[in-house]
Amino acid sequence: MKQLVCITPGQLEYQQGQQPEVKENQSLLKIKRIGICGTDLHAYEGTQPFFNYPRILGHELAAEYVSGDAPGFKAGEPVTIIPYFNCGKCIACRSGKPNCCTSIQVCGVHVDGGMREYLVVPSSSLLHGDGMSFDELALVEPLAIGAHGVRRAGVQPGEYVLVIGAGPIGLGIMEFARIAGGHVIAMDINEQRLQFCREKLQVAHTINAATEDVMKRLQEITNNDMPTVVIDATGSLKAINNAFQYMAHGARYVLVGLQKNEICFSHPEFHKREATLMSSRNATREDFDLVMQSMKKKLVNPATYITHRVAFDNVKDEFASWLKPETGVIKAMVELG
């Protein structure tokens, strides 16, 4: 079996691996699509915290079910997985939050992922992909991250939702904030990505934080109320610290984006708003189900995010180019036969 291994930062290598053995509570998958995300790119760059090498990357997966003991799954059927393998015993797992299990093992991050022909996964991680294309199935996970962030925020119809960062994660947040009935305001410093929000996602309000007076624009759009929901999807410390001032009184601020440093904000400013600050990690089965239903109902069409396609054999040569913003990459999709 062919597999692509990230040996050290900046070095990918095709290797021949053993076809994995299937044990109890596991299933064997034949990989069909792998979506590339920021996590993979950061791991390759060497900027992903707590990352060990060598590692097989890839967690946004579409596959064919081959064999195993997953009840109700048949050989040859299309599937995707929830790639956050959890312990089932810790306080988070016992409280219905397997997405933040204390000993979480994310496929392609903490354990080897899907950049290979065959992959063994816990049978409990599987989702039926009936009626969906392999492209769509590989896009479920990044959208589920956004759906989870929106659910954390508890977006109500008619609320102004400021989404900062219009990368693949931010786009998913915008889609599910809209589905929840929110009025989405998209903010970024990349005009090309804001244009994508206007044209492909029909986002009515976009703000370029690099060229516009953000406070003034937000006041205009919200009739001086300011957004009652702010969601970060930049992972930029500067953007995260700045956004505390964009919250309406009584607002919720959800951090989907992640960075390594300490966040700093004015306590009196936070206090006077009686604001709520939340983090949002991964996603749960409920979020995956919502994403798949929304795709089937054509409420979201994330296939438009795919800007680059590459055969598995060419990933090694193309990978570094996806780090360059000038290639205009939103989502690169790897195809296997």
Ligand X SMILES: NC(=O)c1ccc[n+]([C@@H]2O[C@H](COP(=O)([O-])OP(=O)(O)OC[C@H]3O[C@@H](n4cnc5c(N)ncnc54)[C@H](O)[C@@H]3O)[C@@H](O)[C@H]2O)c1
* Spatial separation of the C-alpha atoms in residues 75 and 234, rounded to whole Å: 40
Residue labelled with tokens 């036969």 = 337
CB of 106 to ligand X, least distance (A): 9
* CB nearer to ligand X: pick between 114 and 167: 167
Position 166 contacts ligand X (CB under 6 A): yes
Position 190 contacts ligand X (CB under 6 A): yes
In the numeric block, which tokens belong to residue 295?
């795709």
DSSP code of 90? Answer: S
Half-sphere exposure at residue 331, Cβ-oriented, CA atoms within 13 angstroms = 26
Choices 34-42, 49-57, 187-195, 316-324 (CB under 5 A): range interacting with Zn ion: 34-42
Distance, C-alpha 25 to centroid of its chain: 26
CB of 273 to ligand X, least distance (A): 21
* CB nearer to Zn ion: pick between 27 and 86: 86
* CB nearer to ligand X: pick between 140 and 145: 145
Position 87 contacts Zn ion (CB under 5 A): yes
* Spatial separation of the C-alpha atoms in residues 25 and 27, rounded to whole Å: 7
DSSP code of 244? Answer: G
* Spatial separation of the C-alpha atoms in residues 302 and 270, rounded to whole Å: 35
DSSP code of 321? Answer: G
Position 331 contacts ligand X (CB under 6 A): no
CB of 102 to Zn ion, least distance (A): 6
| Category of 68 on φ-ψ map: left (φ > 0), alpha (ψ -120 to 50) or beta | left
Position 161 contacts Zn ion (CB under 5 A): no
Report what 101 binds from ligand X, Zn ion, none; CB cut-off 5-8 Å by kind: Zn ion
* CB nearer to Zn ion: pick between 104 and 161: 104
Specify whether the CB–CB gap between 181 and 155 falls below 8 A. Answer: yes
* Spatial separation of the C-alpha atoms in residues 4 and 313, rounded to whole Å: 9
Whether a cis peptide bond, with omega within 30° of 0, leads into 83 is no
CB of 109 to ligand X, least distance (A): 10
Contacts of residue 266, defined as CB under 8 A and 6 or more positions apart, other chains included, come to 244
Residues of this chain, 192-251, that bind ligand X according to CB under 6 A: 193, 209, 233-236, 238-239
In the numeric block, which tokens belong to residue 253?
């601020």
Binding track over 116-155 against ligand X, x by CB under 6 A: -----------------------------x----------
CB of 135 to ligand X, least distance (A): 18
In the numeric block, which tokens belong to residue 28?
């064997």
* CB nearer to Zn ion: pick between 79 and 93: 93
Specify whether the CB–CB gap between 217 and 188 falls below 8 A. Answer: no
Position 166 contacts Zn ion (CB under 5 A): no
Residue type, 16: Q
Choices 33-41, 59-67, 126-134, 217-225 (CB under 6 A): range interacting with ligand X: 33-41
Using CB under 5 A, which of 93, 119, 161, 221 touches Zn ion? 93
Report what 169 binds from ligand X, Zn ion, none; CB cut-off 5-8 Å by kind: ligand X
Position 302 contacts ligand X (CB under 6 A): no
Q: Which of 282, 316, 286, 307 is nearest to 44 (CA)?
A: 316
Binding track over 40-79 against ligand X, x by CB under 6 A: ----------------------------------------
* Spatial separation of the C-alpha atoms in residues 80 and 155, rounded to whole Å: 27
Q: What are the residues binding Zn ion (CB under 5 A)?
A: 37, 86-87, 90, 93, 101
Q: What are the residues binding ligand X (CB under 6 A)?
A: 37-39, 145, 164-170, 187-190, 193, 209, 233-236, 238-239, 256-258, 280-282
